[in-house]
Amino acid sequence: MRLKRTNPFTGEVNFMELPITPEQYEEAYIKWRNGMYIQDAFHLLNADEREFIKTGITPDYWNKMFESEE
């Protein structure tokens, strides 16, 4: 399933392919919005995928934001 989200810091629109069906997404989304922890509701997804659902921020952007200066 292809999901579209907007990065709240940059306004950039991003897409991510999630390894679930739209039906699985809808079921998990409802559980999450009704109070279930996102990691439990979207247990089939990894942390980066769940973060993208929650915030719209891609793993690349997180890495860029918290890049350590050496």
Q: Is residue 31 part of a domain?
A: yes
Q: Is residue 70 part of a domain?
A: no
Q: What is the DSSP letter of 69?
A: P
pLDDT digits (tens, 9 = 90+) for 8-41: 999 999 999 999 999 999 999 999 999 999 999 9
pLDDT band at 68 (very low <50, low <70, confident <90, very high): low
Give the β-pairing of 13-17 and 2-6.
Answer: antiparallel
Residue 65's pLDDT is 85
pLDDT digits (tens, 9 = 90+) for 13-22: 999 999 999 9
Q: Is residue 39 part of a domain?
A: yes
Q: Is residue 51 part of a domain?
A: yes
Tell me the residue range of the domain where 37 lies. Answer: 2-65
Q: Is residue 27 part of a domain?
A: yes
pLDDT digits (tens, 9 = 90+) for 51-67: 999 999 999 998 888 87
Structurally, how many domains does the chain consist of? 1
Q: Is residue 59 part of a domain?
A: yes
Inform me whether the pLDDT recorded for 69 exceeds 60: no
